[in-house]
Amino acid sequence: MKIKVPASSANLGPGFDSIGVAISLYLTIEVIGESDHWQVDHNLGYLPSGKDNMIVQAALSVKPDLTPQHLRVESDIPLAHGLGSSSSAIVGGIELADQLGQLNLAPHEKIEIAAQLEGHPDNVAPTILGSLVVGCKVNGHFTAVKAPVPPFAMIAYIPAYNLKTSDARAVLPKQLSFKEAVQASAVANTVVAALFAQDYEKAGELMEADLFHERYRSKLVPELEIIRNVGHEHGAVATYLSGAGPTIMSMVDPQHISDFVEAVREAGLKDGIRRLEVAPRGAFWQK
């Protein structure tokens, strides 16, 4: 049996720690069989290959007495690039525990567990539900709502360098003034309304009007401004920093993909461009 878990792209501009979209890069977990200890064969370099692996830890947080398994893990999701690699691992572990432990967890239960482990719902919720999802934490519990699938290609520029989330958060201000917070949340609220109304022209305009984080993080990812300017001339609905970065995601009209990609390359960013799609389906099992 195999579990396939999509990547995710969070924030979409002003939806900081709240909005995310499932992306067509995948973590695949193959269950080889029971073992006397946890064994995780993977292609992910320095990550643990035993009980300390994040997938196993997530599974054991759901069902501590889960029988050890021999797993084979492969991933297309770059680490430390703002594409939700840790969230996909957490969700994969929850799915593993749910299936092997015959727990029959509902989607909202999976989101609650995953978001408690991750700290916020913007990556884990779309990874579980698919499509585009808006979520929040209220009274200690997480909730999320699934939006329509945006009808655009997701063109990612994935730089060769890494950017740790901790470093990307370190450049953010510790607080905003009341006036700034009200304005920033108003922009985010209107983005959500536009996405659900499928008014993508308005949504795209406001996705590039974030006041929470991009103006601070753009100093760490100078390619954001370059690609955003290209997008304005070559068919992108919006360009935003994916999660904490450094990946930059552009929502592009399918008719303009070739033109957009060529223009990005002409701007000097020749490597690291990936044509992706919104993944309409969240984590799932294959036999």
- Contact between residue 69 and residue 33 where contact means Cβ atoms under 8 Å apart: yes
Could you tell me if 189 and 206 are in contact, meaning their C-beta atoms sit under 8 angstroms apart? Answer: no
DSSP lists the bridge partners of residue 133 as 20, 146
What is d(CA 206, CA 199) in angstroms, rounded to the nearest whole number?
11
* 80 labeled part of a ligand binding site: yes
86 annotated to a ligand binding site: yes
Tell whether residue 84 is among the known ligand binding residues: yes
Burial of 111 by CB count in 10 Å (0-12 exposed, 13-18 middle, 19+ buried)? Answer: buried
Q: Is 79 annotated as a binding residue?
A: yes
Query: 12, 242 in Cβ contact below 8 A?
Result: no
- Find out whether 88 is annotated in a ligand binding site: yes
Residues 85, 277: Cα–Cα separation, whole Å: 17
Report the DSSP pairing between strands 236-241 and 69-75: unpaired
Residue ranges of the binding site for ATP: 78-88
Residue ranges of the binding site: 78-88
